[in-house]
């Protein structure tokens, strides 16, 4: 495995740890409170993050492992988010789902031959998406949301 691919895999694991760490810094009772009007609470942030990990990045990576040039469906994040917010899933469960999915993606990629990181499918509006691109996005997306949650924790402190 190339050093670059190792870095991507470690980034996936580290970004999940960053999400967990950011949530752990939240003052008690702040998980569902937005820091300011128009911003998302930590819980509202975790819901689309988990969806992206499981239903977008993770699913697309898995399809690329076994399918040749799949066409990826568009994901309706707003609809999913609305439905998920109607439930009262504990923040702890959301975080554990994110961490577990990131770990599973990292395990799958750890055995992937370097030549297969370029396997790609196509999204109707986003174009060509390779395993490498999706793996990078998995880590980047989680890091962005971890920072968002960490800033929420600072506002609530």
**pLDDT above 90 covers what percent of the chain?**
66
User: 37 or 113: which carries more pLDDT confidence?
Assistant: 113
Residues 43-64 have pLDDT tens digits of 889 988 999 999 899 999 999 9
Picking from 109, 54, 60, the residue whose alpha carbon sits closest to that of residue 77 is: 54
Domain chopping of the chain, boundaries: 3-156
Whether residue 152 contacts residue 41, with contact meaning beta carbons closer than 8 Å, is answered with yes
pLDDT of the residue at 27: 87
pLDDT of the residue at 119: 97
User: 106 or 89: which carries more pLDDT confidence?
Assistant: 106
pLDDT of the residue at 14: 98
pTM (2 decimals)?
Answer: 0.90
pLDDT of the residue at 86: 67
CATH superfamily assigned to domain 3-156: dinb family like domain (1.20.120.450)
**Structure tokens belonging to residue 1:** 């495995």
**Coil/strand/helix, residue 154:** helix
34-38, 64-68, 148-152: which has the minimum mean pLDDT?
A: 34-38
Q: Where does the pLDDT of residue 139 fall: very low under 50, low under 70, confident under 90, or very high at 90 and above? A: very high
């Amino acid at each position: 495995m190339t050093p670059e691919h190792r870095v991507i895999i470690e980034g996936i694991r580290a970004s999940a740890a960053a999400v967990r760490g950011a949530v752990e810094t939240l003052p008690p009772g702040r998980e569902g409170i937005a820091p300011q009007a128009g911003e998302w609470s930590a819980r509202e942030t975790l819901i689309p993050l988990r969806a992206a990990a499981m239903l977008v990045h993770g699913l697309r990576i898995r399809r690329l492992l076994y399918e040749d040039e799949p066409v990826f469906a568009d994901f309706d994040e707003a609809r999913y988010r609305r439905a998920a917010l109607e439930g009262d899933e504990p923040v702890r469960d959301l975080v554990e789902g994110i961490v577990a999915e990131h770990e599973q993606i990292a395990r799958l990629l750890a055995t992937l031959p370097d030549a297969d990181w370029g396997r790609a499918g196509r999204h109707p509006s986003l174009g060509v998406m390779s395993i490498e691109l999706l793996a990078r996005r998995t880590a980047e997306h989680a890091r962005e949301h971890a920072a968002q949650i960490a800033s929420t924790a600072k506002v609530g402190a």
